[in-house]
Amino acid sequence: MRDGETMTDIMIPAWVDGMLQPVEKLDAHLRGLRHKAVSVFVMAGDMMLIQRRALGKYHTPGLWANTCCTHPEWDEPDAVCVSRRLEEELGITDVQAQYRGQVEYRADVGGGLTEHELVEVFVVEATQDLPLALNSDEVMDTRWVHTSSLREELAATPEVFTPWLRIYMAEHSALIFGDQS
């Protein structure tokens, strides 16, 4: 969020009655509206940077997720959104995000909220010494994990991961990782 904004101030692109319209972010989740999103996977070879969501997040607090995921604001280009949120959440700047494709999913995220997202997926190639500056309102921790180890963790303790990370790894890994996973 930008200075002075609250969660309900953010207008995201969502489909209402078959038309793309600006809708308050929380309202889109309460109504389970299909809406636009971006997801970013920062990779160092077979290692992925994952984040643990801050405890103050309004859904899925404290769960592990992919590097960065968010909703573009109304009329915000996806690539601009990716750069903005990488910097706002993790302090990551000066990287090139590569577009990988689009996925759609629907997931209950608790508290009567539903993520029904049409997601533009991006991958950033980096090194594990990538400088980070975590925004404690967004992220409580990060770690690098090998994709095969992540699959094992997801199988053993799925409850500590966000629904969307479980979906990405189970259904969309070829799109995201190509042959490396």
Closest alpha carbon to 79 in 20, 124, 44: 124
Query: What local confidence, expressed as pLDDT, does residue 178 receive?
Result: 86
Q: What are phi and psi of 60, to 5 degrees?
A: 50, 45
Q: What is the pLDDT of residue 9?
A: 66
Report whether 105 contacts 20 (CB < 8 A).
Answer: no
Structure tokens at 151: 């699959």
Domains parsed from the chain with CATH numbers: 7-175 (3.90.79.10)
The list of the chain residues with pLDDT below 70 reads: 1-9, 179-181
Q: What is the pLDDT of residues 132-179, one digit of tens each?
A: 999 999 999 999 999 999 999 999 999 999 999 999 999 999 999 986
Catalytic center residues: 69, 117
pTM of the model: 0.92
In this prediction, residue 10 carries a pLDDT of 87
pLDDT of residue 2: 42
Alpha helices in 4-131 (DSSP H): 25-31, 78-90
